[in-house]
Amino acid sequence: MRIFKILSQKIVRQQYARLFYLFTITFAFFYHAIFLCVFNHLEIEPMFRFNIFSVLFYVILLITYKRVHNYVIPVLIFLLEVISHQIQAGYYLGGDACFHYLILLSAIVPLLTFESRIGLASFCGFTITLIFAFMEANALTFTPRLEVSESALYAIRVSNVLCVSIIDIGTLLCYSYIVWHNKYSLEAQIRQKENIVAKQNKKMFNYQNNIIISLANLVENRDVDTGEHIRRTSAYVELISREAFKRKVYPEVINERFIHRLIQAAPLHDVGKILISDSVLKKPGRLTPEEFDMIKIHTKEGGRIIAEIIGNNDDKDFVRIAKDIATYHHERWDGGGYPKGLKGDQIPVSARIMAIADVFDALISPRCYKASFTREKALEIIKDESGTHFDPVLAEIFLDIQKDFA
């Protein structure tokens, strides 16, 4: 029963099973119709009568083929007709009917192997066809039970070998074409789906970038210095993260995908400042403790804003990185930062990178509340606070590549 189940699955799964069915039945109809005329001409009555049955049988199959949904039963009936026909031919006309059973093998072997192994099926099918033709052509002993001339027998045998060889080779070629066509169509469908997915991803990426730019612009419109700060820190972040990747620092975190997401998310690190009042954000002098507490709020609020606006994004890693840098870029390596007082490795790597870029740019940029430091002084501060404010490994990388900073 297992072989019938496998055969059924193979036949039903073939996309062009109906085409095979039609081809096989049509060929069988003409084959038997031709031999019906031959046996009538040679007055071989038993074979003539049997071919009348065969022709009618295939006519019925041709008429009803459009209604067939499962091809297992019709194929089995077809094979039984072939067996009985060949046994009768061997009985009345002589020769070894077992040779004709190779027809079954040449039909079944490709059916079971063509789905993914065209080369093997073609080799088996053509080999069986050649063996069948050779054995038929060289079976010289005849013991016909009917009075038939030697030339007539020879003509029948040659015609039979030719017809069987044609149907075997034709079936193989059809199988080959269909398998190739299915594979080509499948590859085309895969490419089409990949193109659709790529377009959707690009559309989503553009949509996401537009949101990021819009949020960053909200901050920039509040404070021109902050707007320039966003663009410069994004560039610093890229240089630091790429050098860290090159040196294989934190390899479990820093890779190309991480770098891409970090660069994309960097403009959002100060997005929480849109909720800080102008009186505090643009105050020209030193902030009071209360005002500094208000400034601190921008970290938590930045994480909340990101979660609310892009939290449903399918790229969860990007959302996480964006939230981390917005929330934790003011944490300190020694635990003295805010909003949570995280320490050392508790601080996300993305926020540690952002902290260096953020502080360095704040030091060398003039603000409403301070003058700018020189580049040398800013680098000295970064070096002095390595291991206290900043991750010492990332700070070392920053200092090594500081000449690349514009």
DSSP 121-144: HHHHHHHHHHHHHHHHHH------
Lowest mean pLDDT among 85-94, 177-186, 329-338, 340-349: 177-186
Both tokens of 32, joined, read 């038997």
Give residue for tokens 């049509």: 26
Residues 103, 168: Cα–Cα separation, whole Å: 8
Percentage of residues in the chain having pLDDT higher than 70:
64
Mean pLDDT calculated for residue range 292-313: 88
Q: How far apart (Å, rounded) are the C-alpha atoms in residues 33 and 272? A: 87
**pLDDT tens digits, one per residue of 221-268:** 665 555 577 788 889 999 999 999 999 999 999 999 999 999 988 988
Chain segment 111-131, per-residue pLDDT in tens: 544 455 556 656 666 666 676
Distance between CA atoms of residues 320 and 306, nearest Å: 9
**Three-point CA angle 41, 47, 52, nearest 5°:** 85
- Which is more confidently placed, 364 or 109? 364
> Can you tell me the mean pLDDT for 178-201?
71
Higher-confidence position of 355 and 17: 355
Instruction: Give tens-digit pLDDT for 200-229.
Output: 767 766 666 666 666 666 666 665 555 577
3-class SS of residue 386: strand
The pLDDT confidence band at residue 11, using thresholds 50, 70 and 90, is very low
The predicted model gives 7-29 an average pLDDT of: 62
Instruction: Output the CA–CA distances (angstroms, integers) from residue 365 to 82, 278, 370, 396, in the order listed.
Output: 92, 19, 9, 22
Residue 386 phi/psi, 5° resolution? Answer: -65, 125
Predicted pLDDT at 4:
45
Q: Model-level pTM?
A: 0.54
CB burial class (10 A; 0-12, 13-18, 19+) of residue 252?
A: exposed
Give CA–CA dist 70/64, Å, rounded.
Answer: 12
Report whether 256 contacts 245 (CB < 8 A). yes
* Interval 146-186: pLDDT, tens: 666 777 777 776 776 677 667 666 666 666 666 666 666 66
Q: 77-86, 174-183, 291-300, 330-339: lowest mean pLDDT where?
A: 174-183
